[in-house]
Amino acid sequence: MNTDHAYIGLGSNVNNPHAQLTLAMANIASDEGIEVLACSHFYVTKPVGPVSQDNFMNAVIKIKTRYEPQALLTHLQTIEKQHGRHEKRIKWGPRPLDLDILLYEGQRVQEANLVIPHPELENRAFVLCPLADINEEMILPSGIKLKQKLKEIPMDGIIEVVEK
């Protein structure tokens, strides 16, 4: 059976975000069609968008998966729902869990419900910082080196969580 590598962004800002991300990673790793290969540090970050809300906690994992992109998306959405995320929520509002497919084995997907690479990937320090923990030498879809992009993007309000 073929397997591909993908990078998944994780975020949460309600119901104990650290626990939400930790449990989500365990949920993802427990699926026999997915192997978690690497995990970034956790980062506390300012929310994006017009809604007043608590800070987020973000991380990125690298996985090996047997799922095609749409099937992986469906699986991740099931995990989000298990964590209390609902379809009818405020765009860019608070959420217990957000799982985004950032990259999938160099593939490009342009569908109504899924765009890979993630369209905001290179604009979001809260994704790029944890991605660099896993692969700082990565070449981004634009052709720019990740470590170069990190020098160019504002890092306001991003704090690495140091585990004790």
Q: Is the bond preceding 130 in cis, omega lying within 30 degrees of 0? A: no
Give the number of domains in the chain: 1
Positions annotated as catalytic residues are 85, 95, 98, 100
* pTM of the predicted protein model: 0.92
Confidence of residue 95 (pLDDT cuts 50, 70, 90): confident
Location of structure tokens 């397997």 = 3
**Among residues of the chain, what percentage have pLDDT more than 90?**
75
Q: Reply yes or no on whether the pLDDT at 132 is more than 80.
A: yes
Write down the H helix ranges in the chain: 17-29, 69-82, 125-135, 146-152
User: Using CB atoms within 10 A of its CB, is residue 23 exposed (0-12), middle (13-18) or buried (19+)?
Assistant: middle
Q: What element of type H or E holds 129?
A: helix 125-135
CATH number of the CATH domain containing 45: 3.30.70.560
**Which range of residues forms the domain containing residue 136?**
4-160
Confidence of residue 35 (pLDDT cuts 50, 70, 90): very high
Q: What is the mean pLDDT of residues 46-59?
A: 85
Biggest CA–CA distance in the chain, Å, is: 46
Residue 3: per-residue pLDDT: 73
